[in-house]
Amino acid sequence: MNPTSADTPAPSVTRRTSAAAPSKFPLSSDKNPPNAVGVASVTELTATLAEYLSPAELKKIKEAYRFSDEMHLGQVRKSGEPYISHPIAVAEICAEWKLDAQAIMAALLHDVMEDQDVRKDELIERFGAPVAALVDGLSKLDKIEFQSQIEQQAENFRKMLLAMARDVRVILVKLADRLHNMRTLDAMSPDKRRRIARETMEVYVPIAHRLGLNNIYRELQELSFSHLYPLRYRTISKALRAARGNRREVVSKILTSVKEALDRAGIKAGVYGREKTLYGIYRKMRNKHLTFSQVLDVYGFRVVVENFESCYMALGTLHALFKPMPGKFKDYIAIPKLNGYQSLHTTLIGPYGTPVEFQIRTENMHGVAESGVAAHWLYKNQDGQLTDLQQRTHAWLQSLLDIQHQTGDSAEFLEHVKVDLFPDSVYVFTPKSIIIALPRGATALDFAYSIHTDIGDHAVSARINHEQAALKTELRNGDIVAIDVSDDARPTPNWLAFVRTGKARSAIRHHLRTIDREEAIDLGRMLLEQSLAVLELPSKIPTQIADRLLNETGVKSVSDLYAEIGVGKRMAMLVARHIQGLEANQADKNQPKEAASSAESKIKPVVISGREPSTSVQLANCCLPIPGDALAGQLRRDQTLQVHVADCEVAKRQRAKEQGRWIDVSWAADHARRFECRIRVLLQDEKGALARLAAEINESDSNIVHVGMDESHAGLMTELRFTVQVEDRIHLARLMRNVKRVKGVERILRERS
């Protein structure tokens, strides 16, 4: 549970709290951190709790502290501090959120089951079932044998997330626990710091963001960045300190102008300057390929007004004061983010031509923006009704339970949940104007499953903006979506190729796993016959070919083969192509050379769209094929198809070793996605050249995924390697022509191997 804990007993450690390292980051730019990582004191904790808890509840909390202190007696942290300082610090963070007595008790007891072998029934007897359930949900599964550390981590997250789905306080205490651990991570070895920081960035940061816990989200993100990339962190931090003095005059002038303009308009508002986080600055530099000096909007401003109407009045006042930048306005009040966040965002051209971002919100919106579900974690408000944020949070938590019911494997469960954690979203409407938020790239079928699993399972087509559309159609912001269903419709393995959400993917796999064997055999037979028909082969497999097929695939019977196709374990077209290859070999043996050549000429390539499941088809990383490339496919021993560009050097070497495992592959007419490819650019080493190049790639409707730099040639030239996303070879050719025209570009070529 605790990555910074140690079970090493200390012979003479008194039961007291001790000072920890000072906090590196405030929870918010507007206020100091609550007790951060100062002296972990029971007296201070009790004083904080006394502000909102009853004496009877305080008595129970003190009892939990004494029990935890006794259990952890002699245990120290890696830093050498008595271990009890950690549970107290976690409880202090929870107290700042005004969590109830049960959650505070769980914070104090959260490691006793894992570290001290305290049984759950003992906790139930001493502190009650709700507290024991919270502690159990926070405890790791160290006593169970796992096949790998990855499986163990996946199972730990699965257990924690399911406990969170039943009681949101589990994740609040867990995030407080992780926050204190990250604040005191310096005591760990560099390798362990990086591992814990990466885990925090990949799982806990997105969870905090998804629940609207923006204070925790930002601090965990900053701490993770400082441990993952310490040199980059220190470099940007130093540059930011230097920039503060240079930009103080600009910030002061903007603050004064805005306050005066709002006063003249009769709008009561608080105006606050805020500095972007170091990770936010780094991410912008990386994504837009900018130097620090080119990131002009390091500072932003927040305007907090009294009511809803004043938000839009303040927006008009700001637009009259400074010119707004086109396309830089977002209304998250009319359409809140998934985590309940509401604000108006606008970017204005401030003094000296500096772009300045403003956020406008009410006091209530500000509370939710900073603390999310922790701002009102109780399930109902005074009227007994769920708020919009609580309804959205509960809907997401319920989806975790739905995924769990449909998923037996912990790693698969975590994969589905991670898909839904990342914040990029598209907002669409039902025919009754209900807003549905989905991950960017989601399809009409994802929408169907988001409404109800039964609607997804029986979907046959969609109507988008009142026009008929296929289920795989990607949705865009503002689409009005309706789903047509049929009682006879059922999920097929092909659906896995284009769904985006974890809920849809797990529901489809669940259906395919649980369908009756006879139904799976029938479905598999139908899919294989369709694939055989495409290849102009008879639907009935000759006995001799069937025997060889079963021997080479390791399947016991043809019925078992059909069943595996039916549940998505095998790709029907690959099996059909295997049969085609066996028949061609048979023709080669039994017929004259001319007839065998004729049989080979009838072998048709496997058609791919690029959206097939990675368990069936993989695009080779050595050459990164894109639509328009001539292809060659390698049938690997794990029954997957790896697709190369036909003239790939790696593929040529492997083909020389195992000629019989290679087949022709071609692109489908409709691939409906973008593909990565690598280009190499030889560029004159001059100021602004990289920025011009990145801008041209962006103008060519391509996204930069990665950029690397080789050593300069005689100090005059720089060779840059870009990984970009394009639609096909035509798009790539257009991109390369445009880049070639950029000033300073000497040569550009596509990198194949």
Q: Higher confidence at residue 611 or residue 465? A: 465
Same domain, yes or no: 284 and 165: no
Q: Which of 453, 487, 513 is the last residue of a domain?
A: 513
Segment of 137-151, 299-313, 350-364 carrying the highest mean pLDDT: 299-313
For β-strands 631-635 and 662-667, DSSP reports them as antiparallel
CA distances from 168 to 407, 648, 664 (A): 21, 51, 52
Q: Which of 228, 258, 276 is the last residue of a domain?
A: 228
pLDDT at 592 over 60: no
Q: Higher confidence at residue 452 or residue 369? A: 452
Neighbouring CB atoms inside 10 A of 409's CB total 13
Same domain, yes or no: 212 and 242: no
Rama region for 725: left / alpha / beta (φ>0; ψ in -120 to 50; rest)? beta
Tell me the C-alpha distance between 614 and 366, whole Å: 42
Tell me the C-alpha distance between 736 and 739, whole Å: 5
**DSSP-derived secondary structure for 388-414:** HHHHHHHHHHHHHHHHHHH---HHHHH
Give burial (CB, 10 Å; 0-12/13-18/19+) of 695.
middle
Q: Is residue 557 part of a domain?
A: no
Q: What tens digit of pLDDT does each residue of 536-553 get?
A: 888 888 888 888 878 777
Residues 6+ apart with CB under 8 A from 659: none
Long-range interactions of 131-134: CB distance < 8 A, separation 24+:
131/64, 131/102, 131/105, 131/106, 133/163, 133/166, 133/167, 134/102, 134/103, 134/106, 134/163, 134/167, 134/169, 134/170, 134/173
Q: Is residue 370 part of a domain?
A: yes
Q: Average pLDDT of 127-145?
A: 72
How many domains does the structure of the chain reveal?
A: 4
Tokens of 41: 């004191």
Q: Higher confidence at residue 597 or residue 498? A: 498
What is residue 706's predicted lDDT score, i.e. its pLDDT? 78
With bands split at pLDDT 50, 70 and 90, how would you rate the model's confidence at 104? Answer: very high
With bands split at pLDDT 50, 70 and 90, how would you rate the model's confidence at 440? Answer: confident
Same domain, yes or no: 279 and 406: no
What is residue 557's predicted lDDT score, i.e. its pLDDT? 86
What is residue 394's predicted lDDT score, i.e. its pLDDT? 54
Provide the mean pLDDT of the chain: 77
Same domain, yes or no: 169 and 65: yes
Catalytic residues: 114-115
pLDDT at 17 over 60: no
Tell me the C-alpha distance between 330 and 337, whole Å: 11
DSSP-derived letter for residue 201 is I
What length does the chain have?
Answer: 753
* Residue among 573, 597, 594, 571 at smallest CA distance from 584: 597
CA atoms within 13 A on the CB side of 702: 31
In 526-609, DSSP assigns E strands to 606-608
What is residue 447's predicted lDDT score, i.e. its pLDDT? 93
What is residue 384's predicted lDDT score, i.e. its pLDDT? 43
For position 706, which CATH number holds? 3.30.70.260
Segment of 221-225, 285-289, 671-675 carrying the highest mean pLDDT: 221-225
Residues 6+ apart with CB under 8 A from 394: 386
CB 32 within 8 A of CB 169: no
Tell me the C-alpha distance between 719 and 711, whole Å: 7
Q: Which of 513, 543, 570 is the last residue of a domain?
A: 513
Range of the domain at 290: 231-374
- Angle at which helix 85-96 crosses helix 42-49, to 10 degrees, equals 20
What is residue 445's predicted lDDT score, i.e. its pLDDT? 94
Handedness of CA 144, 145, 146, 149 (dihedral sign): positive
Of the chain, the percentage scoring pLDDT greater than 90 comes to 16
pLDDT at 638 over 60: no
**DSSP-derived secondary structure for 596-637:** HHHHHHTPPPEEE-S-S-TTTEEE-TTT---TTS-EEEEE-T
Q: Average pLDDT of 193-204?
A: 85
Same domain, yes or no: 333 and 482: no
